[in-house]
Structure 1
Amino acid sequence: MKIKKFFAIFVYICFFTALFAEDLTARFIATQAAKKDSVEESVEYLKTQIAKINIPAEKRAAYVFLASLQEQLSLFDDAQKSYAKAAGIAAGNAEGMPEKTNEQIVLDAIRCTLSCGDYEKADSYLNSAVRNSKNQVVQEYIKLYTQWSALCKADTVEQIAEPVAVLDAYSKVDSMRHVQPAILLTLWYVTGDKKYSEKIIEKFPSSIESSIVKGDAQLLPTPFWFFVPKSGEAEQGTGSFSVADEPEKNLPQTSDKKETVFTKWQLGLFKTENNAKLLADEVKSKGFDSFITTEKRASGTTYYIVLVNEDKSGNTAERLRSAGYDCYAVE
C-alpha cells in the first residue's frame, strides 16, 4: 500500500509540474526579466526559464527576446545562437510578444554574426532557405547583408571597390527602398563621401542613420565597423541637440561652469584579444595613449575593451573622431 501511495503522489507531482511548465509563457518570463536590476541579470534569468517552456511558440518567442537583450549587451555571438535556436523552432508567434517570421529571425542572426566579424557563419545563414524568400523586404536585407559580408572579408581598400560599386547601384533603385538608409550609411562610412550623408539627412531625416551622420548618435563599436578598410574618413556632424539656452535678462550671471571631466574614451569591445590589440596598436601609432582592459560578464564571457586616456589638451574625443574612430566617454 505504501508503495502504491508513494507512486500516486509521485505521479500527481509530475502531472502538475508538467502542467505548470506547459503554462509558462514567453510574455510571463519577459515581464519577470524586466523586473531584474540589470540587463545581465535579466539574461541569466531568461536562460534558466526558457528550459522550462514546453510550448514551441512560447519557447521561440522567449529565445527571440533573450537574443534581443544579448544583442543590447554586445554579446553578438550569444545573440546569434539564440536567434538561430528560435529560427529552428517550427512554430508561429506567441500571444503578447512581437511578431516575427523565421526569415526575419534568420536576418537578425546574420546581423549579429557580421557584428562579430564572422562572415563565414553569416554566409552560411545567407545561403540557407532564407535565400529563396518571396518577401521583398527580406530579399532587400539579403542583398544588403551579402555586400556587408563582402566588406567584412576585405583586407585592403582595393578589395572594397566591388561591394561599394554594388551598394552605390542599390542606393539608386526603388527596389531597395527599405534598406536605403543603411546602404547610404555604409557608403558614407567606408568612402567618406559627403554626398551619401547629405542624402541620408535629406531623404531620411528621422532615421537613426541620420542621427549618426549628424553626430547625435554613435555607431556601435563592433569588429565589422572597425576593421572594414575605408577609402576615406567619414566626418560626423557636431550634433543637433547641444544648443545652449539663451540667458534670461536681468538675472545675475555666474562664472560657474558645469563641466563633466572624462578621463577615458572607449573605442571598442571585443571577444578576441588579438582584435582588441590590433585596434589599440593602430590607435597608439597615431599618437593616442591607448590600452586594453578586460571585463567578465555574468555569462562567463571575458571581453577586451580598448580605451584611450584623455590628454592635457582635453580634446581627445574630437581628435579620435577626426582620425576616423568612433568613441564614447567612460568615467
Structure 2
Amino acid sequence: MRSCCLGFEKPYLFFIIIVGAMMINAAAGAFAESSEPALQPAVQTLAQKAFAQKTDAAVRQFFEKNLAALPNAQAKVQALTLLAEYEQHNGNYSNAADCYRRAAGFDTTDKKTALLLDAVRVLLCGGSMDSARSLLSEIAAALPVSDEDPYYRRAAVYDTWRLLAEDRADRAVPLITAYTKKKAFSEYHPALLFTLWWVNGDEDAKQRLLKEYPAGMEAAAVNGTVTVQPSTFWYLMPRSGLAQKPAAGSTASKTSTVSKTGTSSEAIKASPQSSAASKTEAASAQPSKPAAGSETQAKPSYYQLGFYKTKKYAEALATDLQKKHFTPIIKEEMRPSGTVYFAVLVKENAAGDMGLRLKDAGYEAFPIFP
C-alpha cells in the first residue's frame, strides 16, 4: 500500500516539513520550474516562530504582524508563499489564494505569473470556480497564446479542469484530448489522461496511462493501488463508474497525496492532508464557504462519500454503506445545464465522530458544513 498522507499534530512540524522540502529542492532543482532561492534568514526566523504557535489563527496572525518588518520584497514573497502552503495544508483555500496573490504583488520576476497560477490551483481545489475563472482571465490577458509558453500551458490545463467542474465537459473533453496528443503538454499528460478516465471512464486513456506512466501516482489511482482522497475540486467533477471501482485486492482505505511538482500532482491534488479535505467548504455539490475564521472550528452536518452522474452508482454506494450499518441519503442536484447529479451523504451523529467511523470502515468522506 502506498500512502503519503501525513497528519501534523502541531503547526511547528509543518515548518520542519515545508522549510526542509523547500531548502532541499532549492539545492536539487527538483521543482518543475527553475530552482527556488534559499529562504532568507529573516524568513526562516519568522517562519520558525510562527509555526511554533499553537493554533492556525495564531500562526496566521504572527505572519501578518511581522510581514512588514521583512527586509525586502523577495523575503515577503517567500513568507507569503510559506503561509499559503500552510493555509492550503489546513484546507483554507481562499486564504491560500489570497496569500499567493499578495506574494505575486511583491514579486518583480517572471515567477509572478507562477504565483498567480498557484492561486488559481488552490481556488480550483476549494471549488471557487468564479474566482478561478476571473483570475485565469486576468492571467491569460498577459500571456502569449502559444503552446511553447509554460505558463500558457499551465493556465490552459487549469481552464479545462475549471470547465469540467462547471459541467462543461462538452468543451473540456475535446481540449483535454487534444492536449494529450501534443508533445508540448507532455508534462501534463499523466494528469490529463487520468482526468479523461475519471470523467468518462475512457479506456484508451487508462491503457495509455498504465503503459506510458506505470510508476506514476495517476496510474496507481487508476489500478487501485491508491485511492484519491475527496476534495471539493474532485467532488465537483462528473465521475465515471469506472473511477469509483477499486481494483481487485485494493481497499478504500488506501490513500495518497502527490507531491507539489507542478504537473500531474496538481491534478491529482487528491486532497492531501495538505489539501485538508476534512476542513473545507461546502454544502452539497456546489459548496459555499463558512464565514471567515470558522473554517477550522465549524462542525459538519453531513459527510459526502460520492457524487455521480449515474444514479445506479450512487445507489450501489448507498447499499454498501447500509451493509456496514450506516444510513446514507442520496441527494439530487440539478446543474444549470439541466444535468442531474447524485450525491451520497451520511449525517453527522450526536457524538460528532461519524467522520472517524466512516474512515474506520474504509471510506474517504468529505465534510459538508452548514
The TM-score, its normalising length taken from structure 2, stands at: 0.57
- Give deviations 1:61-114, integer Å, cap 9, x for gaps: 11011111211222211111111111111435xxxxxxx811111111001111
- Give the AA of the match of 2:133: D
CA distance in 1, matches of 2:306, 2:67: 42
- Aligned pairs for 1:128-167 (under 5 A) are 128-134=138-144, 136-154=149-167, 159-167=168-176
Q: For the structure 1 residues 167 and 73, does the alpha-carbon distance in structure 2 shift closer, same or farther, using more than 3 Å as the test?
A: same
Which segment is superposed worse, 54-63 or 23-32? 23-32
- Give the AA of the match of 2:137: N
Runs of 5+ unmatched residues, structure 2: 1-39, 254-275, 288-299, 308-313, 327-345
Q: Let me know the Cα RMSD of the aligned residues.
A: 3.8
Question: Which of residues 50, 53, 66 in structure 1 aligns to 2:83?
Answer: 66
Shift of residue 307, structure 1, vs aligned partner: 3.2
Question: Which of residues 340, 343, 347 in structure 2 aligns to 1:291?
Answer: 347
Q: For the structure 1 residues 206 and 104, does the alpha-carbon distance in structure 2 shift closer, same or farther, using more than 3 Å as the test?
A: farther
Question: Which of residues 72, 88, 92 in structure 2 aligns to 1:75?
Answer: 92
Aligned length: 252
Runs of 5+ unmatched residues, structure 1: 1-22, 93-99, 243-265, 295-303, 321-325
Contact 1:71 1:79 in 2 (8 A): yes
Aligned to 1:104: 114
Q: Tell me, yes or no, if structure 1 residue 170 matches structure 2 residue 218.
A: no
Q: Tell me, yes or no, if structure 1 residue 184 matches structure 2 residue 193.
A: yes
Q: Tell me, yes or no, if structure 1 residue 123 matches structure 2 residue 133.
A: yes
The structure richer in helix per residue is 1
- Aligned pairs for 1:190-229 (under 5 A) are 190-229=199-238
Contact 1:185 1:209 in 2 (8 A): yes
- Give the AA of the match of 2:136: L
Shift of residue 171, structure 1, vs aligned partner: 1.0
Contact 2:91 2:277 in 1 (8 A): no
Q: Tell me, yes or no, if structure 1 residue 55 matches structure 2 residue 72.
A: yes
Higher relative contact order (CA 8 A, sep 6+): 2
> How high is the sequence identity, in percent, across the aligned residues?
19
Contact 2:143 2:152 in 1 (8 A): yes
- Give the AA of the match of 1:27: Q
SS, match of residue 238 in structure 2: coil
Aligned to 2:10: none
The TM-score, its normalising length taken from structure 1, stands at: 0.63
SS, match of residue 196 in structure 2: helix
- Mark the structure with the bigger radius of gyration: 1
Q: For the structure 1 residues 121 and 187, does the alpha-carbon distance in structure 2 shift closer, same or farther, using more than 3 Å as the test?
A: same
- Give deviations 1:233-261, integer Å, cap 9, x for gaps: 31344559x9xxxxxxxxxxxxxxxxxxx
CA distance in 1, matches of 2:221, 2:57: 27
